[in-house]
Amino acid sequence: MKVLGYVRVSSEMQKQGYSITNQKNKIVDYCKYMDYELIEIYEDNGVSGMSIDKREGYKGMVNYMNENDIDGIVVYSLSRLGRRMKDVINFLDELRNRGKVFYSIKENLSNSDKIGNLIVNIMTSINEFEVENIRERIRDVKREKKKNGLVYGRLMYGFDDIDGKLVVNEFERNVIKRIKNLRSRKWSWRKISNRLNEEDIKSKCGSVWYDGSLYNMMKSYMI
């Protein structure tokens, strides 16, 4: 039986030590135990499971499956396949319709029977619900910190972090006013970024300006 493996870890899970290598080892060991021929393991490192478009490893696996004769897909955990219920179910339906097997090692789940399919659907729903809960908690924390004048997320240009409190940086605020003025005079983002670099005015992280980074910074001020 010929199978492909797929592993994924998000940036947040990297911080928690959730290892790509560990997932690969689990897949290799499982395939050896089951006497499967593991053709290749595709990976997405530091990529969210909420979007298929940004997952080159996932797309590579699907393309290989479409162009070659393989029998199934093996993952370490169902959540590694994706976090959006619709995407996961559509993919598993495609596998089942084409007579291909899906197996998740951690949950001991397969699409080979009705009970397995039901559990997969339930687990996928839970994974998506967990992600939404986490996002909502993060939004709540940010709103509360903003209301109390505390630093949250990435520090915006125009502010400093003084003992956890947001404090206006007068120099940077004047730079913002100047950028607004130059934009009103039809200066391009590139021309403005070049002028700031010529005057050795750095970005918040201390680097030079680019037209794209300048535009993204000023979006916060609705320019």
Q: What CATH number is associated with residue 31? A: 3.40.50.1390
CB count, 10 Å around CB of 148?
11
Q: Are 4 and 41 in contact (CB under 8 A)?
A: yes
Residues 131 and 173 both lie in one domain: no
- What is the per-residue pLDDT across 146-194, written as a single tens digit (0 to 9) for each? 566 554 556 778 878 776 666 788 899 899 999 999 988 999 999 999 9
Domain end (from 82, 103, 135): 135
Please tell me the distance from the alpha carbon of residue 26 to that of residue 74, in angstroms, as a whole number: 10
Cα Dmax for the chain: 70
pLDDT for the residue 178: 92
CB distance 127 to 116 below 8 Å: no
Residue 209 in this model has a pLDDT that exceeds 60: yes
CA dist., res. 35 & res. 42, Å (int): 19
Q: Do 183 and 100 share a structural domain?
A: no
For 8-32, the pLDDT digits (tens) are: 887 555 444 458 888 999 999 999 9
Structural domain for 121, as ranges:
2-135
Once rounded to an integer, what is the mean pLDDT over residues 53-61? 86
The predicted structure's pLDDT at residue 115:
46
**Residues 122 and 174 occupy one common structural domain:** no
pLDDT for 200: 92
Residue 147 lies in a domain: no
Query: How many structural domains are present in the chain?
Result: 2
Note whether residue 62 is domain-resident.
yes
Six token digits for residue 72: 């199934």
Residues 66 and 124 in one domain: yes
CB 124 within 8 A of CB 78: yes
pTM for this prediction: 0.52
Same domain, residue pair 108 and 191: no
Q: What was the pLDDT predicted at 134?
A: 46
Instruction: Tell me: do 93 and 11 sit in the same domain.
Output: yes
Give the H/E segment covering residue 9.
strand 2-9
How many Cα atoms occupy the beta-carbon half-sphere of 177 within 13 Å?
Answer: 6
